[in-house]
Amino acid sequence: MLKKLLNKFYNISSVYFFQKSQNQWYEDPIKPNKRVDKGYFISLHQKAKRNTNAEINNLETQIGYSIDQKWLHELALITQITKKDSEINYQHGRLLYSVLKNYLDLHRNNQYPINILETGTARGFSALCMAKALNEGGKIGRIFSFDVLPHFTPMYWNNITDMDGKLDRKSLLSKWEDLINKYIIFIQGNTKIMLGRIQLPRINFAFLDGAHTYEDVMFEFGEIKNRQMKGDVIVFDDYNPYQFKGLVKAVDQICEEYNYQRKNIVTNSDRGYVIASKK
C-alpha cells in the first residue's frame, strides 16, 4: 500500500518532490563563508565534539541505544558546523536516533512500514540520523523531510564546503547516498501547502523543526494528530520559553489537550526538546 501511495505522489528514484513557487530560495538564501579557512570549521568541529550533555547521556542509558559517535561527528562536520553566534550543538542527532530506535523496538511486531515526518530539513542532518536508526533497526520505512530549500540547486551552505564552490544538497550528502536512497524523500515547499498533499494513513514518528510560531506548530500538528496511534511519537525542537514563546505555548497545549505524555530534554541554555508520546 505504501509503495503504491509513494508511486502516486513521487518519482521514487529521485527521492525528491517540490513546489517551486518562491524564487528567493534559489538565489543563495544562506550566507556563504567561502573565504573562511577550512581550519576554522575544523576547530569549531573539535570544540563541538566535546560538547556532550548529561541529559542525553542519561536518555541513551535509559533507552539502551546510542548512535555511533564517529559516524555522527563525520556527518556533523558537513551538516552542523557553521559560522554563527550561538553555540554549536548537535546533540539532537543522538536524541532522535535513540528515541526512534526505542520506538522501533517497542513496535518490532508491527509488520507495516514506518512513516516518519520531518519539517525543517536544512542540510539533512536530522533526517540522516533517523535514517540510520531505521537501517540499524532493520525496518522498512520512509522519512518525508520538508524544507523551503531546494535539493538540486547548487548553493552555499555556510560550512566547510563553501570555499570549494556551490553544491546542491544531493552532492553535499553524497557520502550518505545509500541511506538517502533507501529511506529519505526530500520535499521542497511551504509546509502549509505541501503537508496536506502527503496522504499517509499513519505517521508513526515526527520531528518538528520548521517555523517556530504558535500558528505554524499548531498547523503542522493538525496534519499529524489524526494519523497517530497510541505510542506514536512527536519530537519538538527548540523548546525555549525565552526565544520561542509561541512554540512553547503550542507544545504545552498539544501535550495537555491532545493526550500526549511528555519528556523534556535540555541540552544548553538555548536548546531544549520535548519528546511527546501519544497515550
In this predicted structure, what is the pLDDT of residue 109?
Answer: 87
**pLDDT tens digits along 68-120:** 999 999 999 999 999 888 889 999 999 999 999 999 999 988 888 999 999 99
Structural domain that includes position 257: 2-278
Find the CATH number of the domain harbouring 270.
3.40.50.150
What gap in Å lies between CA 106 and CA 132, rounded to an integer? 17
Q: Is 101 within 8 Å of 137 (Cβ atoms)?
A: yes
- Number of structural domains found in the chain: 1
What phi and psi, each to the nearest 5 degrees, are found at residue 108? -65, -20
In this predicted structure, what is the pLDDT of residue 218?
Answer: 97
Could you give the angle at the alpha carbon of 18 between the alpha carbons of 78 and 103, nearest 5°? 60
62 φψ region: left (φ > 0), alpha (ψ -120 to 50), beta (else): alpha
Q: Is 144 within 8 Å of 185 (Cβ atoms)?
A: yes
Tell me the residue ranges of DSSP E strands in the chain: 16-18, 114-119, 141-147, 184-188, 205-208, 233-236, 260-268, 271-278
Whether the per-residue pLDDT at 27 is higher than 70: the answer is no
**pLDDT tens digits along 200-234:** 899 999 999 998 999 999 999 999 999 999 999 99
Give the rounded percent of residues in the chain with a pLDDT score beyond 90. Answer: 71
pTM confidence score: 0.90
Burial class (CB in 10 A: 0-12, 13-18, 19+), 256: exposed
Pairing, β 16-18 against β 260-268: unpaired
Count CA within 13 A, CB hemisphere, residue 101. 22
What gap in Å lies between CA 127 and CA 229, rounded to an integer? 22
Task: Name residue 84's amino acid.
Answer: K
Q: Mark out the alpha helices in 19-152 (DSSP H runs).
A: 38-49, 54-63, 69-79, 92-106, 125-136
What gap in Å lies between CA 123 and CA 174, rounded to an integer? 12
Task: Name residue 71's amino acid.
Answer: W
What gap in Å lies between CA 191 and CA 224, rounded to an integer? 12
